[in-house]
Chains A and B, each alone.
Chain A
């Protein structure tokens, strides 16, 4: 990326997201974390600001502001409340996936519901209890029965699964392996779909994570997204974009942790000085800021490539692995700078610390990102 200036639209989207994040989300984030309260009200307001379809065409209710603007918005929202941002991220990803692979009918039926906030959220149901990094091994089954598909199986770690108006569900419709997988659009509340266990998580308490059970869940033939057997490709394409989202979420959490640390270090006195005067603190601040800038540049580069319609699989994975691992180093330093106050929830750093941890795991673990990158560089 050789020109680092943002466009007016990108700046405007960032500003809208920043204002909302700071005025509405940040003051409520601690309580939402303590209570595990799903941010339905906020998500609806965000839809009103165009944040539920930042990179979705205006004709379908989106902001049509592009992938870079989306990354910037994710950074801002994540800095205030990472639980809200993951729900935002998944909804945007599903809306974009339907725009890209869906039929006109599917687009018209679902995308405006998501961008307007009439649906609280959307979900992405790929992982299963026994297959995470290896989705080609999935067991959920889709059987054709005249005008219907019948789904049977179990999905796990489904973000916003109990609030989703629509979800993309992957299931095996054919032979073993990646080519036998298809993607389907399943509406929340469909008969035969039941919401299982709510996971108790280390962080992201205000976002919900559930398992889904499909028991002879009958959906119309028109629910097939893309072509039969195309599911794996759709999942990988969606995740390429999703990784920019999680990289941006990581940057957002990290920026909040850095800002809190700068504030604290300038105020807290020890040995007769603000602790910001000590090199032990300064150097941690310098490393946090440098790594966050590097992570942000990687995320915006991937987003710029996506926006230009170019391939960005490798760059998306680089952004995701670097940003997610960087934010974990950053929140660890932030907690350290805060001392005991970094370990209690009176200060936001304790929450950032817990929220950051998942970023190296979901939407492709760091290990999967490294496999993607290595495959790309070894292929030349």
Chain B
């Protein structure tokens, strides 16, 4: 049983940690307050190869593994959770399905420029009335000659305001239910695509999300990913990987909450001593540290199964469920340790608290993770 990261993974971790400390952390609070999309940071992520970490080098990726991806996501999110999700969406939700389901022509056109970070991708499954119940899609793709005509709307699309292309899901055969869903890669600069206004959110305020409207949007046949009807399968397997990214983001936020609380508790004095000497504080810190370690083990297990090509739906769901709920608990404790200061924008604790919450919702709510897990466990797998 190997306990340590490989040299390559460790180098990536150090690179990301240094980058986050120098380029993300000093700005994260301001970006959050100003709801500023960190375009400069995203450009630097691209230079570091962090926008296509697990994409092979032949497609302009960094050619690393998924454990490396998880490690990088944790470090980046520790500096700025908004930057973390921008990175996660491009890696897991955009590049991953293109790598797995795209043909060479599609990879050349739609993967390589995105894995290099020259362009930014997003993923559109959710609709105003289809979230956890993804099979209830209303967006349709009607085949007409050598193209599909897309009609419908998608919402909560992270990177939507900035992205150049989207992996889009739409019904090609409504009667077939979830087997009637197909996946497409769509140029977001094409006619018929309208972006809604940016969502006003509780947290991850520096990342943008919006609705996407498709009004008689014509997409060439060659932009379909996989066969007609493969969409639901593509979405679910993509989310298995995406959950590793979000679980890692949750870990990074929890680490930020924990490390800042630890630092504060050594400085802040009460009752004649640093509050770190009080068991009330020590026990919160101990629980945070323990749960962070437990979550990381779950995340790296799922990533390591993905690297081996083993099915990991259950393990990814466990990692996502545990890490996200853990992150919220940690952020809550971190804020509590800061007392009144934790509630003000003078400290980062309140941002972590707001940022953590989303990890329990996107890329499958905690409720969906529990359905995935219980279905596997009840079947005895």
Query: Which A residues are within 8 Å of any B CB, using their own CB?
Result: 1-7, 10, 68, 258, 262, 265-266, 276, 279, 282-283, 285-287, 289-291, 293-295, 297-298, 300-301, 304-305, 307-308, 310, 315, 318, 321-322, 367, 369-371, 373-374, 377-378
Does B109 sit within 8 A of A, measured CB to CB? no
**Are B1 and A1 within 8 A (Cβ)?**
yes
Query: Which B residues are within 8 Å of any A CB, using their own CB?
Result: 1-6, 9, 67, 262, 266, 276, 279, 282-283, 285-287, 289-291, 293-295, 297-298, 300-301, 304-305, 315, 318, 321-322, 367, 369-375, 377-378, 380
B279 to chain A, nearest CB (A): 7
**Are B3 and A374 within 8 A (Cβ)?**
no
Closest to A277 in B: B378
> What are 19 A-B residue pairs whose CB atoms fall within 8 Å in the complex?
A1-B1, A3-B304, A4-B1, A68-B1, A286-B370, A286-B373, A289-B318, A289-B377, A293-B298, A294-B297, A294-B322, A295-B294, A297-B297, A298-B294, A301-B3, A301-B297, A370-B283, A373-B289, A374-B285
Q: Which of A287, A291, A304 has the most CB of B within 10 A?
A: A287
**Are A297 and B294 within 8 A (Cβ)?**
yes
> Using Cβ atoms and an 8 Å threshold, which residues of chain B touch A10?
1
**Are A1 and B291 within 8 A (Cβ)?**
no
**Are A370 and B286 within 8 A (Cβ)?**
yes
**Are A290 and B5 within 8 A (Cβ)?**
no
Tell me what chain A mostly uses at the interface: helix, strand, loop, or mixed: helix
> Using Cβ atoms and an 8 Å threshold, which residues of chain A touch B4?
2
**Are B282 and A374 within 8 A (Cβ)?**
yes
Tell me what chain B mostly uses at the interface: helix, strand, loop, or mixed: helix
Query: CA separation between A236 and B375, bound complex, in Å?
Result: 42
**Are B378 and A318 within 8 A (Cβ)?**
no
Closest to A3 in B: B2
> Using Cβ atoms and an 8 Å threshold, which residues of chain B touch A287?
370
Query: CA separation between A5 and B315, bound complex, in Å?
Result: 15
Query: CA separation between A289 and B370, bound complex, in Å?
Result: 10
Closest to B282 in A: A374
A372 to chain B, nearest CB (A): 8
8 Å CB contact of B378 from A5, A285, A305 = A285
**Are A2 and B282 within 8 A (Cβ)?**
no
Closest to A274 in B: B378
> Using Cβ atoms and an 8 Å threshold, which residues of chain A touch B380?
262
B275 to chain A, nearest CB (A): 11
**Are A290 and B290 within 8 A (Cβ)?**
no
B327 to chain A, nearest CB (A): 14
Closest to A320 in B: B290
Q: Which of A5, A283, A294, A301 has the most CB of B within 10 A?
A: A294
**Are A298 and B297 within 8 A (Cβ)?**
yes
- Contact A290:B286 (CB < 8 A) given known A2-B4, A262-B378, A266-B378: no
Query: CA separation between A287 and B369, bound complex, in Å?
Result: 10
- Contact A322:B290 (CB < 8 A) given known A2-B300, A297-B298, A297-B301: yes
Given contacts A287-B370, A294-B298, 16 further A-B contacts (CB under 8 A): A1-B297, A282-B370, A282-B371, A285-B378, A286-B371, A289-B374, A290-B298, A297-B301, A301-B297, A318-B289, A321-B286, A370-B279, A373-B286, A373-B290, A377-B262, A377-B289
Closest to B4 in A: A2
8 Å CB contact of A285 from B6, B279, B283, B377 = B377
**Are B374 and A377 within 8 A (Cβ)?**
no
> Using Cβ atoms and an 8 Å threshold, which residues of chain B touch A298?
290, 293-294, 297
**Are B304 and A294 within 8 A (Cβ)?**
no
The 7 closest A-B pairs by CB, nearest first: A3-B2, A374-B282, A282-B374, A297-B297, A286-B370, A373-B286, A286-B373
**Are A1 and B285 within 8 A (Cβ)?**
no
B131 to chain A, nearest CB (A): 16
Closest to A375 in B: B282
Closest to B9 in A: A2
Query: CA separation between A73 and B104, bound complex, in Å?
Result: 49
**Are A322 and B294 within 8 A (Cβ)?**
yes
> Using Cβ atoms and an 8 Å threshold, which residues of chain B touch A308?
3
**Are B3 and A285 within 8 A (Cβ)?**
no
Query: CA separation between A258 and B315, bound complex, in Å?
Result: 17
**Are A378 and B285 within 8 A (Cβ)?**
yes
**Are B1 and A283 within 8 A (Cβ)?**
no
Closest to B305 in A: A4
Closest to B288 in A: A377
Query: CA separation between A132 and B104, bound complex, in Å?
Result: 67
**Are A4 and B294 within 8 A (Cβ)?**
no
8 Å CB contact of B3 from A289, A304, A369 = A304
Query: CA separation between A2 and B291, bound complex, in Å?
Result: 17
**Are A6 and B378 within 8 A (Cβ)?**
no
Closest to B2 in A: A3
Query: CA separation between A167 and B244, bound complex, in Å?
Result: 48
Query: CA separation between A172 and B351, bound complex, in Å?
Result: 52
Query: CA separation between A374 and B280, bound complex, in Å?
Result: 11
- Contact A322:B291 (CB < 8 A) given known A1-B300, A4-B304, A286-B370: yes
- Contact A1:B266 (CB < 8 A) given known A294-B297, A297-B297, A301-B297: no
**Are B283 and A294 within 8 A (Cβ)?**
no
**Are A3 and B318 within 8 A (Cβ)?**
no
B51 to chain A, nearest CB (A): 23
A291 to chain B, nearest CB (A): 8
Query: CA separation between A318 and B286, bound complex, in Å?
Result: 8
8 Å CB contact of A305 from B3, B279, B295, B318 = B3
- Contact A304:B321 (CB < 8 A) given known A285-B378, A370-B286: no
**Are A5 and B370 within 8 A (Cβ)?**
no
**Are B1 and A304 within 8 A (Cβ)?**
yes
**Are B1 and A262 within 8 A (Cβ)?**
no
B43 to chain A, nearest CB (A): 31
**Are A286 and B279 within 8 A (Cβ)?**
no
8 Å CB contact of A2 from B3, B286, B322, B378 = B3
Q: Which of A265, A276, A293, A304 has the most CB of B within 10 A?
A: A293
**Are A294 and B282 within 8 A (Cβ)?**
no
Query: CA separation between A279 and B321, bound complex, in Å?
Result: 16
> Using Cβ atoms and an 8 Å threshold, which residues of chain A touch B289?
318, 373, 377
Query: CA separation between A265 and B378, bound complex, in Å?
Result: 8
> Using Cβ atoms and an 8 Å threshold, which residues of chain A touch B287?
370
A284 to chain B, nearest CB (A): 8
